[in-house]
Chains A and B, each alone.
Chain A
Amino acid sequence: MSLFIVNILDGLVTGLLLFMLCSGLTLIFSMMGVLNFAHASFYMLGAYFAYQISTYTGFWVGLIVAPIIVGVFGALIERYGLRRVHKYGHVPELIFTFGLALLIEEVVQFFWGRSQMPYRAPEALDFAAFSIAGNAFPAYKVFMIFVAIGLFLALLYILTKTRIGMTIQAALSYPETVQNLGHNVPLVFMGVFGVGTAMAGLAGVIAGPVMGTFPGMAVFLGSIVFVTIVIGGLGSLWGALIASLLIGWIQTFAATYNVRMEDILTGLGFDKPEPIWDSAWQDLWTLTLPQIGPILPYLLMVIVLVVRPQGLFGKRES
């Protein structure tokens, strides 16, 4: 039972981290209709910038400054890159962001090399906040939970309660009308792209010390981010949150419990073929839950798409 509670907490951390990544992507998608393939690369840039800043000034300055740099960089990419290819349609936009992801990875390798970076959590948070039956829960993870929840509440407030948020929401559906009312819609787009990438950068800043800072970290998370926003429903902040938490818990529990296919199959009344290593069914019988853990989110995506093609919280009818 205590392990169950620990897993709930661990899954919450993983899920919230995923949410920080996905919220920016889903915002950008709903505004511009562009799936930003380079989104996870901004996450990687956040971690690397924060590492570099932290070597001079410590962790906390990096926490504030690195996402800002990433956001400004993202806004410039939108202004001078994406906006120019926009008039040629969606495919050039996709190809542009795809190329951008490859470029960022090469640039990171050029400057920082290919090894793991010694980016660490601040010493002030380097202790166990509490422990459940011998399982320590690091204070840094508590900090991660608060940052992610704070970010979610701030976003929700801005989007639903403020004038800026209303302009953004209106610009989503009726860009021409909003433009005619005197709002600078391209500037709004640039701002949203910048904020979206800055959130990815922030996720990188706080995930870097836990999940490792290395050139493969963007590719590592790239596909799972898309799976999450598809499950949650494109453009929905709540959807991104729920889907992220679901995936966080699925992966945590899948890796924890050694459920074996053999037990399930014998439970269902099948006979185990003997000897198993000669059988054509060997792979099926020897499968365990931790082994298939990493593909479960994709399975969930397929199921969601079959049952509800617009995603759990998606509004779009197709």
Chain B
Amino acid sequence: MKSFKKLVLSAVVAGIAATAAHAESVKIAYIDPLSGPFAATGVNGLHQFEFAADYLVNDKGGVLDGTTFEVIGFDNKTSPKESLIQLQVAIDQGARYIVQGNGSGPAHALTDAIEKHNKRNPDARVLFLNYSAVDPALTNEACNFWHFRFDANADMKMDAMTDVIAADESIKKVYVIGQDYSFGKAVSAAAASMLGAKRPDIEIVGNELHPIGKVKDFTPYARKIVSSGADAVITGNWGSDMLGLGKSAIENGFDGPIFTYYGAGSGMTAAFGESGKNSIRLVAESQINPPASDEATALYNAFKAKYPDGNIDQGRIFNVINMLAMAAEKAGTATDVVAVASALEGMEADGVFGGKLMMRAQDHQIIQDIHIQVHTNEGITFTYDNSDYGVLQESTVTMASKDAPTTCEMKRP
């Protein structure tokens, strides 16, 4: 009987010890769509985060002498309201780091809620590591100390895109087309003002918005683009609107470059296939082809071995994990998020997929190289969607928009 009690006691002790060891892990809550129409993107992003945490941190023994990163997925169904519910659940489960990226609507909701939460709960503050929501407002008028953005914002991408267009003397006429909502309008306004400043001789021969998710056949739009005599197209379209517009334009005789924000990965590359070759351009950070380094090649191969159907189409996710680990080391803690945030401010690092990174202190916007990549099947090491096609780095704007002004007035704790 005594030995049985001993056994139970030791089991309980072991259990407590195990929980204690478990609590050592840094919980990172991934709040993005895991169901609904955008689930494919959301699930692929979660896989990239889980893989990055294991590959870059846990397999190397963790940070701060053995603390590991644990990524937990929370489904926000792309809804701002649902994001707030999931945020509460995540905080209750002990997450101190929130990552989100699909949609600026949920990002705005989260950054507001996190600022309020941190004010009311100084003992359980959390950081918001935004890896993809690109609304410039998040690092301007809506900025706060707890939000860090690891992607270039929409204006910075347009800045890089228009740099490349401005340098191309053969482009004299540009057609801007987008979805009729805030992002499409922002892209259209930025394109007009930046092209006007950089190449006043470029004529914007079309600037229009189409109903989002309602156009069944993009042929009439393709006809307008062709008859306008445009040399290049700029679009912020995504999803089936991106594919429909791009395919129609190419099939109906448009042979110039189509500059896109979301024209590759997530099924898009396979669907464009041969027709999009040398036509679709993608503006993005992180260089996939040719791989920036041997380490990047090894990492991508390891990812493909684990997720044969996945794509690394958001290289910045790896930078988030890498820089979070560096900041924790520098601050000497992973639980005091104020110390970690202060360590992140102004931090410089090497990008996992090449280039330098710098987290600008005044607005928490990362500064990095932005590439214009072209959809092709030549010279591709890593394809997307298991097709023969991928995006090849064509030109690079180094440390893009390094000195871009910001209206952020940040209050520090």
Q: What is the interface of chain A, defined by CB distance below 8 A to chain B?
A: 3, 6-7, 10, 13-14, 113-120, 128, 131, 133-138, 140, 210-212, 214-216, 220-221, 224, 251-253, 255-256, 258, 288, 290-291, 293-294
Contact = CB atoms under 8 A, between A and B. Distances in A.
Given A115-B40, A128-B253, A135 B267 contact: no
Contacts of A291: 180, 209-211
Interface in B343-366: none
Nearest to A213: B271
A294 B241 CA distance: 14
A255 B221 contact: yes
10 contacts: A10-B220, A10-B223, A116-B268, A133-B227, A134-B226, A138-B251, A252-B217, A290-B211, A291-B210, A294-B216
Nearest to A224: B216
Given A115-B266, A131-B253, A290-B208, A212 B40 contact: no
Contact of B215 (A10, A114, A214, A294): A294
A255 B209 contact: no
Given A116-B240, A118-B273, A294-B216, 19 more contacts: A115-B266, A115-B385, A118-B270, A128-B253, A131-B253, A140-B251, A210-B247, A221-B216, A224-B216, A252-B217, A252-B219, A252-B220, A256-B223, A256-B224, A290-B208, A290-B211, A291-B210, A293-B215, A294-B211
A55 B217 CA distance: 25
Nearest to B255: A136
Contacts of A113: 40, 267
Contacts of B211: 290-291, 293-294
A291 B240 CA distance: 18
B252 interface: yes
Contacts of A210: 217, 247, 251
B253 A135 contact: yes
Given A117-B271, A211-B216, A251-B216, A3 B223 contact: yes
Contact of A14 (B40, B217, B268): B217
Contacts, number: 111
Nearest to B266: A115
Contacts of A224: 216
Contacts of A140: 251
Contact of B217 (A133, A135, A251): A251
A135 B223 contact: yes
A134 B240 contact: no
A268 B160 CA distance: 45
A297 to B, nearest CB: 10
B214 interface: yes
B387 interface: yes
A114 B39 contact: yes
B244 A115 contact: no
Interface of B: 37-40, 180, 208-211, 214-217, 219-221, 223-224, 226-227, 240, 243-244, 247, 251-253, 266-268, 270-271, 273-275, 385, 387
Contact of A212 (B210, B224, B244, B273): B244
A224 B210 CA distance: 18
Given A212-B243, A255-B220, A291-B211, A118 B226 contact: no
A117 B267 contact: yes
Most chain A CB inside 10 Å of its own CB: which residue of B215, B247, B267, B273: B267
A147 to B, nearest CB: 17
For the complex of A and B, list the 6 residue pairs with the smallest distance between their C-beta atoms, beginning with the closest: A115-B267, A136-B253, A255-B220, A118-B270, A116-B267, A114-B40
A120 B273 contact: yes
A3 to B, nearest CB: 6
A251 B220 CA distance: 9
Contacts of B217: 10, 14, 210-211, 251-252
A251 B243 CA distance: 19
A111 B355 CA distance: 39
B387 A220 contact: no
Most chain B CB inside 10 Å of its own CB: which residue of A120, A251, A255: A255
A63 B220 CA distance: 27
B271 A118 contact: yes
Given A116-B240, A216-B240, A294 B214 contact: yes
Given A115-B40, A118-B271, A291-B211, A220 B253 contact: no
A16 B243 CA distance: 22
